[in-house]
Structure 1
């Protein structure tokens, strides 16, 4: 068994490309090997800013021999009087087999000639030589470039190539115009600590030799080393390193030989909001900030940088980093002081100069729409004092035109909160300005204040309706306005805060207002727009229930309905109810309570579709004629339905669905007698009056169950 090494050497790669490229290789390389019948023992992937590498262990020297069966001409064409014809001889010659070895077999289209031949496996070296160029050029990513005079595209110029099968160099070439990069056994060590080339004598020696050349090629080990060094460095100055996973991932792919260094900055900069200092460090400099304590937001006047230079020159490197950060923080302090020279409200006129979207006007116009939608939400929620909500809606985007947010867009909302406090706004308004952006991403915290919740939903609803109104619906993975995230946030905020929001009515209001304001640029009709938005939210609800709340798909179908207007409208009118019913169904499936009513209700629901009873009817008084009963089981069924009416109404009123399930469970044995007992009946009786009477009994039971869910959509577990 052999070991194969492939290393691509480059100029410094973008940090995000390294992980992405190796992830692509993790799926493509094993697939490529399998397609050529090569099964290695294991595959290891490595990456640094200057290289991507793969080590394939336990490769067989050759492909296994393959037996192939080839279908030839029809038997009557291939043989005449038991002897092979020219057709058979030509087929045998083409396949490289003896004519006498041809076999005749029956197929659906008659008897045909078949040849069985052995294909000798190719050497692994030959296969790898042909496959490697595709592994390299098949990588995908953003910001690819061309260099020299060729058309080869890669994130950075490729400078060397190592392809070793054990100790043998496989002849691989990457042609880029007049420049040809030929494979060799020479790689490069650390740019500063080991500038001399490194000769790889054997593929198995790759990791050890590069480690000796001050290059840690294992990403996991490098990440772990950086994290340990950063924590230890912070501990030495009695602090705690702030290590965000995204920054740790990025820094890991910026260095080959990490060394943590501790820098210091002037304490006067601690007067800046911690978020500003942290953003300066993380976003611009890729430094780790240092806090006094784990749970504290208070920072120490230190930072931790991960150097890729000579550890012996750490003092010089530290001073250089301190100078850069001092300049950054000085800029931040200037922005912070300049921004506070006027109250936050003073920035509103400048929002007129910022375009939200070409057809939708300025951000200032959007602010007015946010205020209107916020008022509609607050009215619906019956919030008596809306002063803070309206003030927060007015000021929620004002910080976009401040110098600080202009420099650091990720601080929008954060600086709005700071500047609102500095301007004398109420605490509720300041927090709402910050919180209306929450959640900023998946797994992020949700707004906790009512003003933040209302303004946040209003902002997102305006964006959703406006962009849909222009006909710019998200498709596939393309969602430039993050409309899916916006809809998810509205649903999640409603659920988390238990807001009794009638989303259907709200969507009607907002879409109608949009149609009036933007009739000239509106693409769909008002009816089409409303349907598109409703369908979009229903899909978001479905996804959130299944993926976030872990509700089985059929139970989600049962509460949302399939092309069932009654259910879809009910879901949008009451987001809390659809959530509660889905979670309740999942819970009674787990404790097997669902099984006690499933068969009876499901059977009744299926048969009830043969009738014409409205799905909203519950009272049998005017719908069932007892004089048409032929068996006592019908009377028992009717009496049980009469008793069920007040129980269902009570369960629906207080949303006590367990009470409803208990009532349905009590009815189940009676319905079983109606179907299968000694006094059972034929539902589809020849007499149309009796048939309709019995179908109405079943339809009424179905309707009671529909208060909880459409049992016809539930799959038996």
Structure 2
């Protein structure tokens, strides 16, 4: 078994593209090798800012020999057809076999093909891998840049290293010929050097100040940054995304600590952290005792400086001061204008061409927040309405114009600074939440009402104008909005009738298609999202279907309480057997109703009973139905399910001893009505027909 090493060196590969490039190179080369019968034992790809590489171990030295049998034309086929078959196989007529299959005798060719040496195959497949590489963004360059079939690469390709067991694999792509030469760090070890195998490649690169493995570069940054922070009595603000980005920007990462003037700490910490992160790729630090941001930062250099990094730190400090000065200016300027004075500008921003301006949305959300406040315990309707009215005002502030990621956050700071109640400031800050499954869900009453109102208005509005999600496309993040509504309701245990909330949101819309039919469409959409959300919690989607399909259930808290009780019932032996009995009853009814062309949903006549088992089941059903109805009214779903479970032995006895299709028509019809009564009793808690398995 042999080894293959391929390195593609270029100008800087953007950090955000490197992880995907590693996956794509592994996939493309692995598939190409496998298609040629050259399946390796292992394949490991790497990326740095200047190179994409892959080491393949356990490659066979040659393709496997192939034995192939191919059926040709009939023996009495025209000579031209036989001649064509001979030409395609490279055999003579005497080398073919004759064999009878079915109604004819056919010619068969047995072809033996010896596998080619791997070193011959590689030059044919590797250029194809390079040319078909799916960079998210790529470019052409040089004298062939105007040619439509010229190579597109993320940045100009500079060199190709390609070795198979120490031998150069001869290939050329866009004038770049392969060899055994690579280069180390651009500044600290730029001289070219040869390598013979993957292990030597790794070792020599490290000596030349290049850490090939991106995961190792992350560990180097994380360890050194934490040590710097600890030495200063501080702690690193966790940021996995920034850690990965810095690892993608450096081949030899060297974390360094800098500082800035404490006066900038008067600016909200989110602003400082975002300024450092977005513009400069710096890590923030904080005081472990107070949790407050410190006036220190960590930058990651790509070089070991002779002065220990003093000049690098000083340069980064100068740049950061300029950035923070801009942020401070935006913040202080924004504070001079009250949020309500910004509201007229929202009339100049189109929310959506079919849904009007942002100002119109704000009015709808404010009214809806007041309505929803009645369903949120301890929620002040006046505060909810005012918070909703001010929630979007920071969109026309200087700071949010510079950093859109801070919308809502800055509004909360500005509201607090202008003396608004803390509930309003908090609601403004949280009204976009939760943004995803890992985002904290608001729990403060005013925040919950405003967040619900904002999401429901968005959902109802876009559905009303025909902009609902299709397939994988969801440009307005409506699935996320629905999941946000579900989390707000469930995590705050809100007894919110969803249909009433949807009608209230619809009433504020001036859209022709905002009709009653829209409510059911949206309710179905919520049901689908609920199944997705609950699946992650281990709840079966069919049980949610079984409860939803009863109709009229739009209280998500109550619905999931039913689902939980149903799950517990089916996990018990009595419940599982009751389900089996239900299915048997439902199947008999379906068959007989189809055959007879009528429904057996009439009253059960006890005078027609001829066996104790049918009388016992009927009496038990009457008692159980009354008891279940009483328990459902007080939402004691567990007890209601237990009552139904007690029917199990009577159902078993009925099917064991009673013939449903009795010879006497009246008795048969009465027994079918009894089965329908069983089905109806079970359907008071869930539609068992929806339960799978």
**Structure 1 position 74 matched with structure 2 position 55:** no
Give the counterpart of 1:201 among 196, 206, 209. Answer: 196
Q: 1:631 matched to which residue of 2?
A: 611
Please say if residues 229 and 235 of structure 2, whose CA atoms lie closer than 8 Å, have aligned partners that are also in contact. yes
Residues 608 and 702, structure 1, Cα contact 8 Å, conserved in 2: no
Do the aligned partners of residues 378 and 158 (structure 1) sit closer, same or farther apart at CA in structure 2, a change above 3 Å counting? Answer: same
Supply the distance in 2 between the matched residues of 1:312 and 1:108 (Cα, whole angstroms): 84
2:364 touches 2:508 (CA, 8 Å); kept in 1?
no
* Matched residue, 1:306: 300
Taking the aligned partners of 2:73 and 2:199, their CA distance within structure 1 comes to 51
Structure 1 residue 353: Cα displacement: 2.4
Question: What is residue 314 of structure 2 aligned with on the other side?
Answer: 319
**TM-aligned CA deviation for residue 318 of structure 1:** 0.4
Shift of 1:707: 3.2
Match of 2:340 in 1: 345
1:33 alignment counterpart: 33
Alignment of 1:601 onto 2:596: no
Which residue in 2 is equivalent to 1:19? Answer: 19
Aligned to 1:655: 635
CA distance in 1, matches of 2:458, 2:13: 37
What is the aligned counterpart of 1:575 among 553, 556, 580?
Answer: 556
- Residue of structure 2 equivalent to 1:359: 354
Alignment of 1:442-461 (within 5 A): 442-461=437-456
Cα drift, residue 530 of structure 1:
4.0
**1:82 aligned partner:** none
Alignment partner of 1:559 is 2:553: no
Pairwise CA distance, 1:477: 2.8
In structure 2, the partner of 1:550 is 538
Aligned residues of 2:370 and 2:382 also touching (Cα < 8 A)? no
1:709 to partner: Cα distance: 2.6
- Aligned to 2:134, what secondary structure does the other structure show? coil
User: The residue matched to 2:179 in structure 1 has which SS?
Assistant: coil
Residue 588 of structure 1 and its aligned partner are, at CA, apart by 5.0
In 1, Cα distance between equivalents of 2:244 and 2:574: 47
CA contact (8 A) 1:631 1:681 kept: no
Out of 624, 638, 642, which is 1:644 matched to?
624
Task: Report the Cα distance in structure 1 between the residues aligned to 2:433 and 2:278, rounded to whole angstroms.
Answer: 20
Instruction: Give the conservation status (yes or no) of the 8 Å contact 1:260–1:307.
Output: yes
1:253 to 241, 244, 248: 248
Q: Which residue of 1 aligns with 2:108?
A: 114
Q: Deviations over 1:343-394 (max 9, x none)?
A: 2222212222222223322212111111122233234558773011111111
**Whole-angstrom CA distance in 2 between matches of 1:586 and 1:469:** 35
Tell me, in whole angstroms, the C-alpha distance in 2 between the residues paired with 1:672 and 1:429. 60
The Cα offsets for residues 221-273 of structure 1, whole Å up to 9 and x where unpaired, read as 11111111111111110111112111111111111100010001111112222
Give the stretch that moved more between structures: 102-111 or 476-485: 102-111
| Residue 616 (structure 1) aligns with | none
Question: In structure 1, how many angstroms separate the alpha carbons of the residues matched to 2:94 and 2:347?
Answer: 88
1:447 offset after TM fit, Å? 0.8
Q: Kindly state the Cα deviation for residue 320 of structure 1 after the two structures are TM-superposed.
A: 0.6
Residue 199 of structure 1: how far off its partner (Å): 2.2
Cα distance, 1:688 vs structure 2: 4.8
Equivalent residue for 1:708?
Answer: 685
CA separation of 1:171 and 1:384: change in aligned 2, threshold 3 A: closer
In 2, distance between residues paired with 1:463 and 1:384?
22
Give unpaired runs (5+ residues) of structure 1: 79-84, 614-619
Contact in 2 for aligned 1:189/1:210 (Cα 8 Å) = yes
* 2:261 pairs with one of 257, 262, 266: 266
Query: 1:337: Cα distance to partner?
Result: 1.4
**Could you tell me how far 1:284 is from its partner in structure 2?**
1.5
Instruction: Report what 1:145 is aligned to.
Output: 139
2:654 to 664, 667, 674: 674
- Residues 587 and 7 from structure 1, CA distance in 2 versus in 1: closer, same or farther, beyond 3 angstroms? farther
SS in 2 for 1:311: coil
Q: CA deviation at 1:401?
A: 1.2
1:275 matched residue in structure 2: 270
Match of 2:158 in 1: 159
Change (3 A) 1:525 1:445: closer
Residue of structure 2 equivalent to 1:664:
644
Contact 1:161-1:182 at 8 Å conserved across structures: yes
What secondary structure, in the 3-state scheme, does the structure 2 residue paired with 1:146 have?
A: coil
Between the aligned partners of 1:608 and 1:238, the Cα distance in structure 2 is 76
- Aligned pair count reads 681
Q: Paired residue for 1:3?
A: 3
Partners of 2:497 and 2:382 in 1: how far apart?
22
Paired residue secondary structure (1:300): strand
Are the counterparts in 2 of residues 605 and 711 from structure 1 also a CA contact under 8 Å?
no
Separation in 2, partners of 1:76, 1:598: 65
Deviates more, 1:86-95 or 1:122-131: 86-95
Structure 2 partner of 1:617? none
Deviation at 1:464, TM superposition (A): 1.9
| Native 8 Å contact 2:347 2:357 kept in 1 | yes
- 2:597 — aligned with what? none
Q: Does 1:518 align with 2:506?
A: no
Aligned pair 1:389/2:418, yes or no?
no
For structure 1, which segment, 34-43 or 248-257, has the greater mean C-alpha deviation from structure 2 after superposition? Answer: 34-43
Q: Deviations over 1:449-480 (max 9, x none)?
A: 12111211211122222222332232333222
CA deviation string 1:599-657 (max 9, x = no partner): 122222333445779xxxxxx9x721111222221101101101201321133223333
Contact 2:69 2:108 in 1 (8 A): yes
Specify whether residues 31 and 582 from structure 1 end up closer, same or farther in structure 2 by C-alpha distance, changes over 3 A only.
Answer: farther
Q: Is the 8 A contact 1:261 1:307 kept in 2?
A: yes
User: How far did 1:115 drift?
Assistant: 2.5
State the SS of the aligned residue for 2:249.
coil
Partner-residue secondary structure (3-state), 1:555: helix
Q: TM-score, normalised by structure 1?
A: 0.89
Q: Provide the secondary structure at the position in 2 that maps to 1:306.
A: strand
CA contact (8 A) 1:610 1:695 kept: no
**Aligned-residue offset at 1:102:** 4.1
CA distance in 1, matches of 2:176, 2:395: 49
Distance change >3 Å, CA 531–CA 8, structure 1 → 2 = farther
Pick the aligned partner of 1:131 from 125, 129, 148.
Answer: 125
Q: Distance in 1 between matches of 2:573 and 2:81?
A: 67
Larger mean Cα displacement after TM superposition, 45-54 or 660-669: 660-669
Alpha carbons 1:391, 1:429 under 8 Å: kept: yes
- Other-structure match for 1:81: none
Matched, 1:191 2:180: no
Q: TM-score, normalised by structure 2?
A: 0.92
2:528 corresponds in structure 1 to: 539
Q: CA deviation at 1:56?
A: 0.5
Secondary structure at 1:312's aligned position in 2? coil
CA contact (8 A) 1:606 1:712 kept: no
Question: In 2, distance between residues paired with 1:44 and 1:16?
Answer: 19
